[in-house]
């Protein structure tokens, strides 16, 4: 399943399928991007980050793609599991060093994993 984060706040996928969550960011000067996962009643949890000098980065079951030309970021989750159910936020920052200083969060996408 695939979503455009700003226009489709809920994405429902079958357990075991791959999911793609999309994010359109606003600031062309942003140098650093993070995907966070937020479960109900909890704080955002870091998933993966990418700097503007890269267009792809892979983690465990997750891949982030960055297209600076169209200011688009996506998070791919492979073989989704029930524990992946959460709200996913992208965040951008002009500070390429990292951290959480002055992050601008995008609108979240609620990922629902169907059994």
Partner 1 sequence: AAGVIQSPRHLIKEKRETATLKCYPIPRHDTVYWYQQGPGQDPQFLISFYEKMQSDKGSIPDRFSAQQFSDYHSELNMSSLELGDSALYFCASSLGMNTEAFFGQGTRLTVV
Applying CB under 8 A, the residues found at the interface with partner 1 are 41-46, 49, 89, 95, 97-108
Question: Which residue, 66 or 87, is less far from partner 1 as judged by CB?
Answer: 87
User: Cβ–Cβ contacts within 10 Å for residue 22, how many?
Assistant: 20
**From CA 9, how far away is CA 23, in angstroms rounded?**
11
In whole angstroms, the minimum distance from the beta carbon of 81 to partner 1 comes to 22
- Burial label for 27, CB within 10 Å (0-12, 13-18, 19+), is exposed
Question: Which residue, 10 or 14, is less far from partner 1 as judged by CB?
Answer: 10
In whole angstroms, the minimum distance from the beta carbon of 114 to partner 1 comes to 22
Question: Which residue, 91 or 113, is less far from partner 1 as judged by CB?
Answer: 91
In whole angstroms, the minimum distance from the beta carbon of 52 to partner 1 comes to 15
Instruction: Please choose, from the candidates 94, 68, 63, 67, the residue with its C-alpha nearest in 3D space to the C-alpha of residue 79.
Output: 63
For residues 30 and 52, the answer to whether their CB atoms sit within 8 Å is yes
In whole angstroms, the minimum distance from the beta carbon of 5 to partner 1 comes to 10
**From CA 96, how far away is CA 28, in angstroms rounded?**
13
Question: Which residue, 65 or 94, is less far from partner 1 as judged by CB?
Answer: 94
């Amino acid at each position: 399943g695939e979503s455009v984060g700003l226009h489709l706040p809920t994405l429902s996928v079958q357990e075991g399928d791959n999911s793609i969550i999309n994010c359109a960011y606003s600031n062309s000067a942003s140098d650093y991007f993070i995907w966070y996962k937020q479960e109900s009643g909890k704080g955002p949890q870091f998933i993966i980050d990418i700097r503007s000098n890269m267009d792809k980065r892979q983690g465990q079951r997750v891949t982030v793609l960055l297209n600076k030309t169209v200011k688009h970021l996506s998070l791919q989750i492979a073989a989704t599991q029930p524990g992946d159910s959460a709200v996913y936020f992208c965040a951008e920052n002009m500070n390429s060093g990292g951290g959480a200083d002055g992050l601008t969060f995008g609108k979240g996408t609620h990922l629902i994993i169907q059994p």
